Structure 1
Amino acid sequence: MAEISLDFQFTSSINAVWNALTDSDTLAKWIMANDFKPIVGHKCQFRNPQWNLIVDCEILVVDEPNKLSYTWIGGPINTVVTWTLKEEDGTTYLHLEQTGFEKEDQAFNGAKYGWANMVEGLKKVLEA
């Protein structure tokens, strides 16, 4: 099994980062259009019609503002995404784990590149 593990840092408060991870309108600005709600058991989708991509999700863990986890299922990918947040000395540390990849293949590398790219968008959203 392969997993993606990425770390990011923000000067924004932990609550601002949490909001960007859990608010549907804000998520649409840096991931994709969605009907996300931070409620355990909620089923939702992220949609990108440009790429003909639909990702099905079910919310697994909501521990505001420290941890958020949900399934991420689309095409060949059947995984779990977990965000862990902590704030220290005015810096918010965000850790992303995506588990469940069979191997480091095209889907794995695409997801790894995709998250790194999307979090750049998150930084811009937080700075706005």
Structure 2
Amino acid sequence: MTTNDDLTKIEVDQYFPHPPTKLWRALTEPELMAQWLMPNDFQPAVGHKFTFHSRPVAKTRFSGRIACQVLELLPQKRLRISWGDADDSDGAKTTVTWTIQPEGKGTRLFIEHAGFDPDDPTQQLARKIMNGGWRSHVLRQLSELLQYLP
């Protein structure tokens, strides 16, 4: 995992001892995505709009619903989506990109969550919270799921 001092984004780099096809399934099958990230109505099609559902976070004014759209889908390589609070049309609009790269007998996953305003204290608090979430909770859940996928 890498650290990053760029206040506009979060970058995570994680190796998984699983083939790219297995990781791609976890990134693009809605029922699998719900197990490691959040419940959703995702479909792997560019332009598809969908919503993630989570717990609200009062101190960042997060509603618990994330409005997203599939921006890029390169099978077995990259998934990029828009990401913003569904109930806050004036809030941060960011993007999340998952890039997978075969490495040895496994796969390296690069996550970039970009578009945070470095001068907005609420966005920086959200960035700090999500940075910890991506690195601990999300990657742990994904790793556990991958162990049991055929």
Q: TM-score range by the shorter chain?
A: over 0.9
Which one has a bigger Cα radius of gyration? 2
User: Which amino acid in structure 2 is aligned with residue 109 of structure 1?
Assistant: K
Maintained 8 Å contact 1:77/1:107:
no
Aligned with residue 82 of structure 2, among 71, 74, 82: 71
Aligned with residue 114 of structure 1, among 128, 133, 138: 133
Q: Which runs of 5+ in 1 are unaligned?
A: none
Aligned with residue 61 of structure 1, among 72, 77, 81: 72
Match of 1:81 in 2: 96
Match of 1:3 in 2: 9
Aligned with residue 124 of structure 2, among 78, 101, 105: 105
Equivalents in 2 of 1:66, 1:38: separation in Å? 13
Equivalents in 1 of 2:144, 2:94: separation in Å? 27
What does 1:42-57 align with in structure 2 at a 5 Å threshold? 42-48=48-54, 50-51=55-56, 52-57=63-68
Report sequence identity in percent: 31
Comparing 102-111 with 30-39, which one deviates more in the overlay? 102-111
Equivalents in 1 of 2:117, 2:104: separation in Å? 38
What does 1:27-46 align with in structure 2 at a 5 Å threshold? 27-46=33-52
Equivalents in 1 of 2:141, 2:66: separation in Å? 19
Equivalents in 2 of 1:35, 1:73: separation in Å? 15
Structure 1 stretches of at least 4 aligned residues deviating more than 3 Å after TM superposition: none
Computed over aligned residues only, the root mean square deviation of the Cα atoms, in angstroms, reads 1.4
1:77: how far off?
A: 3.2
**Normalising by the residue count of structure 1, what TM-score does the alignment of the two structures yield?**
0.93
SS at match of 2:46: coil
Equivalents in 2 of 1:102, 1:95: separation in Å? 21
Q: Point out the structure with the larger strand share.
A: 1
Equivalents in 1 of 2:52, 2:124: separation in Å? 22
Equivalents in 1 of 2:131, 2:78: separation in Å? 20
Equivalents in 1 of 2:26, 2:84: separation in Å? 21
